[in-house]
A and B are shown apart, each in its own frame.
Chain A
């Protein structure tokens, strides 16, 4: 157990819908990262927040957005869902941004999204 929690564990929805995935980082961690893992794409970095502010963006679609709240939990919003958005979505956290004296990210158990 990494200490990172994600809800829900599973989500089944239809194309065109909107969903929100939630992540609570480890106690004391200020940095949150979101990843998408699909069979053919591997682990793809989406976006990073540090202490409430966006710090880095990866291959995140415009239909996707995220935020980190004052209590440091984060939400990933996925809208106008398409079949290809079906994937595992992981949240990870670290005390500080990578390179600031530490290199480890702690991953949550993931949310498995199925778009039908």
Chain B
């Protein structure tokens, strides 16, 4: 089976930097994705790591270490609008390819 662990909640202030960790256990691993979901909204894709290292997209960066089965999402220069839930997801290859999502981390950004 698969399991992904994320902290349930993280709090930070505007302008700060926050890191959301994700550890995973899967049978077959083909990459780690991150999605953002605002309350009442749909998940939106943020980033994907297929190889070890850091991927940067504006204020957001994502890191993967396949040997440690670990990744993180780094959010810089936090803004109030970044308050949302963040999900890591792994692609699980069991003959077909589908996404398995973590339980999500709720980020609260305060002024």
- Residue pair A56, B87 in contact (C-beta under 8 Å): no
Residue of B42, B99, B101 touching A98 (CB-CB under 8 A):
B99
A71-116 interface (Cβ within 8 A of B): 90, 92, 97-99, 103-110
Total chain A interface residues with beta-carbon distance under 8 A: 23
Q: A2-B42, A104-B45, A108-B42 are in contact. Are A97 and B97 (CB under 8 A)?
A: yes
B99 contact set on A, CB distance < 8 A: 33, 45, 98, 105
- Residue pair A103, B96 in contact (C-beta under 8 Å): no
Residue of A48, A58, A103, A109 touching B91 (CB-CB under 8 A):
A103
B33 interfacial contact with A, CB 8 Å: yes
B52-96 interface (Cβ within 8 A of A): 87, 89, 91, 93, 96
A4 to B24, CA, bound (A): 29
A103 to B99, CA, bound (A): 10
The B interface, classified by DSSP as helix, strand, loop or mixed, is strand
Total chain B interface residues with beta-carbon distance under 8 A: 23
B12 contact set on A, CB distance < 8 A: none
A26 to B48, CA, bound (A): 20
B33 contact set on A, CB distance < 8 A: 103
- Residue pair A103, B48 in contact (C-beta under 8 Å): yes
- Residue pair B101, A42 in contact (C-beta under 8 Å): yes
Residue of A42, A55, A97, A107 touching B42 (CB-CB under 8 A):
A107
A99 to B43, CA, bound (A): 19
A106 to B98, CA, bound (A): 14
B91 contact set on A, CB distance < 8 A: 98-99, 103
A-B residue pairs in contact (CB < 8 Å), sample of 17: A33-B99, A42-B87, A42-B101, A43-B104, A45-B99, A45-B100, A48-B98, A56-B97, A58-B98, A98-B99, A103-B33, A104-B48, A106-B45, A107-B43, A107-B44, A109-B41, A110-B42
Interface residues of A (CB under 8 A from B): 2, 33, 42-45, 48, 55-56, 58, 90, 92, 97-99, 103-110
Interface residues of B (CB under 8 A from A): 30-31, 33, 41-45, 48, 50, 87, 89, 91, 93, 96-104
